[in-house]
Structure 1
Amino acid sequence: MSGRLASSARRLSALDPRLLDVALAVALGVGTSLWEVLELGKGRPADAQSLALTALVNAPLALRRRAPFTVLVVSTSAALLYHLLGHHPGLNSIGPLLALYSVAAHGSWQAGAGGAVLVVAEWTHASVNQPGVALWSALGQSLIVGGWAFTTGTIVRLLSARGKQLVALAEQLAAERDAAARRAVTRERVRIARELHDVVAHHMSVISVQSGLGRYVALSDPATAHATLGVIADTSHEALTEMRRLLSILRVEAHEQDEGRYSTMSRLSDLETLVERMRAAGLNVRLTVEGPARTLPPGLDLCAYRIVQESLTNVLKHAGADRADINLTYAPDKLTLRVTDDGAGPAPGPGRGGHGLIGMTERVRLYQGTITAGGRPQGGYEVLAAFPLSPSEEDERI
């Protein structure tokens, strides 16, 4: 039963409020007219005049949201004229009351206060016309009813205004959160771009040295010159690849001050040093390497190192873990990094959408890789990253 009522309420709330107002006006007008026709012997009998005034009292309620004060004036004036002409004293009083509520709910409090005076006057006059009702009783009843309609409408108006303020505040907070996330992404991309810039600069230095050597031995030692050209070709290819990545990441506008220099030549071969530093900080770290290690492009090597470094830093700072495991797997077509810990819960940095995960995601995306981070069923936290690799020269010969 309660389920059907809830379903009906949801369907009603989905309707256009203006349709509900029209239905309310029609229901009140038709209901009051039928009551007036059937209630014989109380006041003047129903006629065309009384029915017309009844329609004038209730029909304007269909516009109570768009012109609430005008509806109040028309409805109350028609009701007052209806009762002055001696028609049924107990009818046509609900319309002005609903109009007063509408003014208080959708208009200003000044208009509501003025409308309350009109409704109280009309209700008092209609009540006095009923047999056995004293003026003080009619006035007290009118003040209570009119005050109730005015107060209820005012509360609804204040709650509606507060709701709009909360919606606006929520939208503002969402916009600020999105802006903060975009700024974090931009900062990480600028940081990565700085590192890639130095990688490219390193490649260019190698090309410069090798080209100088090649020119020096071009005539005296053709074999060395040929090998030098091979080094230049390979290095320039890597430099162009890193330059494309650098240009793609710098498409994001970021005009931020330099936050300091970053070490750019770190690579996976330096993980033992990183592990020793973490052990000295009190974290028991185990490093496992599976598969034959291979030479990686410098940018990718640096990217993989940074992911391990960021993961261990978050474990040390946030996870409350005693142990962390690093698993590095080399496959012919893929490099996989897995960092796990035995902490009590997710690290706030990467696990909850912090800047740590943003930086990791941007790095991995730059090399067409994938990354996931989250809690493990058996407890602790896991960061898993995978990078596609092109076949090495040894693989191609095989």
Structure 2
Amino acid sequence: MLNGAPPAIRRLSEINPAIVDTALALFLIITSWLWAVAEPGQGRRPADLPSLALILLVNAPLAARRRAPYAVLVVSVSGAAVYHLLGYHHGLNNMGPLLALYTVAAHRPLRAALVCAAPVVAEWTHASWHVPGVAVWSALGQALVVSGCAVSVGASMRLLESRTRQLAELADRLHREQEAAAHRAVALERMQIARELHDVVAHHMSVISVQAGLGRYVASSEPETARQALEVIARTSSAALTEMRRLLSILRVEPASEDEELYTTTPGLERLPSLVERMRLAGLSIDMTVEGTARPLPPGLDLCAFRIVQEALTNVLKHAGDDARVRIVVTYGPAELALRITDDGRGTRATMSGGHGLLGMAERVKLYRGAITTGPLPQGGYDVAASFPLPPSP
């Protein structure tokens, strides 16, 4: 809670409380001794060895005030009462009992603090009453005021500490829940990707099955057609094996609950125009540019690229505002596919930082050994940029 405080305050908060209490007790003892010697006429008896011993008795127990607040209060009040009954300095040994009362209020229930306030009020009244010109009712009023302040401040500190502890526990619980939600989102996203890859592999196996049947049918009558079917089977099976490896790597996570609906279709970049058209009908102004020569992509990568654009447009629709303008650039390079989706929306994207959409993007890009960067633009808006390595063009 002191992360924003000055360094000196943070260092003080890290000191052992026992050291602080001991230093406070020594300070009260030394200043009281010096004050008693410097003002010998403030009581019926001047400072002597018994008075110095009583000062030590009143203030020394304050070093243990947090560990035994009741005992410290009893000893301190008793010592102060004896000190003033013997006629020593009437202005000294009042702060020790008051600090002990504050400690009781800060670490024990309020009812106990009110009970402990009674002897402090009596001792303070007795000491103040001996000051020349102070009436008993004035001394009593002063004692009630200072004791009430000590109890109020102590009770407030106890309540503040309790609420701070509760807030820390809630923050820790919220952090754990957010981490659990993030892990669950990743697991769900991986399962969804696995289902999509399953569809891709199923497509490959269907092609292999058809081509194998064709090759067997024309093996003797049309050798050239059979050879072409075998080439298609070889290429398709290689692609299917690649996707299957990725599928198996994804499935090495705990399965999601059976009631989650994870099935989805398997579109690709060829369906971007229809996606853009739907988003335009939803109210977005979109400009799409394709740079380089478009070429067939591995089915899983094609699906991954489409999903990233789809998620980015969905986030624009949710967070950027109705008048946002979007630019999509799809770049086919010799060995890389690059996607960039930018907008000039004025809406905040703070909710995206903890959402599941960006987690899904990151998981998809990681699957295909790509890279992705997301973040706000200096002039306003948001930017999503992803790139994927591509196999050489045939």
Q: Which amino acid aligns with 1:49?
A: P
Displacement of 1:149 after TM fit? Answer: 1.2
1:27 partnered with 2:30: no
Query: Which residue number in structure 1 is paired with residue 165 of structure 2?
Result: 164
Whether 2:58 is the aligned partner of 1:57: answer yes
Aligned-pair CA distance for 1:298: 0.6
| Aligned equivalents of 1:46, 1:168: Cα separation in 2 | 52
Q: How large is the Cα RMSD of the aligned pairs? A: 2.7
Q: Are 1:283 and 1:316, in contact at CA under 8 Å, matched by a contact in 2? A: yes
Matches within 5 A, 1:232-251: 232-251=233-252
Deviations 1:52-73 (A, max 9, x none): 2211110111111222122111
Taking structure 1 as reference, are residues 223 and 349 closer, same or farther at Cα in structure 2, changes over 3 Å only? farther
Give the partner amino acid of 2:183.
Answer: R
Distance 2:12 2:172 in 1: 27
Alpha-carbon distance in structure 1 between the residues aligned to 2:195 and 2:336: 26
- CA displacement, residues 272-318 of structure 1 (integer Å, 9 cap, x when unaligned): 33334344445443332222222211100111112222223333444
Stretches of structure 2 that go unaligned for 5 or more consecutive residues are none
Structure 1 residue matching 2:87: 3-state secondary structure: coil
Distance (Å, rounded) in 2 between the aligned partners of 1:226 and 1:233: 11
Q: Give the 3 Å change call, closer, same or farther, for CA 19–375 of structure 1 in structure 2.
A: same
TM-score (norm 1): 0.87
Query: Corresponding residue for 1:268?
Result: 269
- 1:24-74, CA deviations, whole angstroms, 9 ceiling, x for partnerless residues? 100101111222233334333333322222111101111112221221111
Structure 2 counterparts to residues 1-398 of structure 1, below 5 A? 8-41=8-41, 42-217=43-218, 224-253=225-254, 254-259=256-261, 261-264=263-266, 266-319=267-320, 320-321=322-323, 323-345=325-347, 350=352, 352-393=353-394
Provide closer, same or farther for how the CA distance between residues 31 and 279 of structure 1 changes in structure 2, counting only shifts above 3 A. Answer: closer
Residues in 2 aligned to 1:374 and 1:119: alpha-carbon distance in whole angstroms: 62
Range 127-136 or range 232-241, more displaced: 127-136
Shift of 1:217: 4.9
Quick one: structure 1 residues 192 and 50, their matched pair in 2 at CA, closer, same or farther if it must change by over 3 Å?
A: same
Cα displacement string for residues 165-217 of structure 1 (whole angstroms, at most 9, x for unaligned residues): 22223333333333333333333222222111111222222233334444455
Aligned letter for 2:182? Answer: A
| 8 Å CA contact 1:328, 1:337 repeated in 2 | yes
One-letter amino acid of the counterpart of residue 17, structure 1: P
| Residues 195, 262 of structure 2: 8 Å contact kept | no
Q: Is the 1:349–1:355 contact (alpha carbons within 8 Å) kept by the matching residues of 2? A: no
Aligned amino acid, residue 178 of structure 1: E
- Mapped contact 1:43–1:87 kept (Cα < 8 A): yes
The gaps in structure 1 that reach 5 residues or longer are 394-398
- Cα distance in structure 2, aligned partners of 1:138 and 1:7: 42
Measured in 2, the distance between the counterparts of 1:347 and 1:11 equals 37
Residue 86 of structure 1, CA deviation: 3.1
Distance across 2 between alignment mates of 1:123 and 1:343: 68
Shift of 1:100: 0.5
Conserved in 2, the CA contact under 8 Å of 1:346 and 1:374? no
Range with bigger deviation, 124-133 or 293-302: 124-133
Given residue 340 of structure 1, which amino acid in structure 2 is its aligned partner?
Answer: T
> What is the identity percentage for the equivalent residue pairs of Structure 1 and Structure 2?
62
Deviations 1:129-165 (A, max 9, x none): 4444443332222222211211121122122222222
Residues 315 and 347, structure 1, Cα contact 8 Å, conserved in 2: no
The answer (yes or no) to whether the contact 2:336–2:387 under 8 Å persists in 1 is: yes
CA distance in 1, matches of 2:283, 2:91: 86
Instruction: After TM superposition, give the deviation of residue 375 of structure 1 in Å.
Output: 3.5
**TM-score under structure 2 length normalisation:** 0.87
- CA distance in structure 1 between the partners assigned to 2:253 and 2:349 by the alignment: 28
The residue type equivalent to 1:35 in the other structure is: W
- Whether contact under 8 Å (1:286, 1:325) holds in the other structure is yes
Write the distance in 2 (CA, Å) between the matches of 1:367 and 1:60: 69
Aligned CA distance change for structure 1 residues 155 and 378 (closer, same or farther; 3 Å) = closer
* Separation in 2, partners of 1:163, 1:38: 44
Identify which range, 144-153 or 284-293, moves more after superposition: 284-293
Residue aligned with 1:294, SS: coil
Supply the distance in 2 between the matched residues of 1:123 and 1:20 (Cα, whole angstroms). Answer: 25
Distance 2:87 2:319 in 1: 82
Q: Number of aligned residue pairs: give it.
A: 387
Task: State the Cα distance separating 1:348 from its structure 2 match.
Answer: 7.1
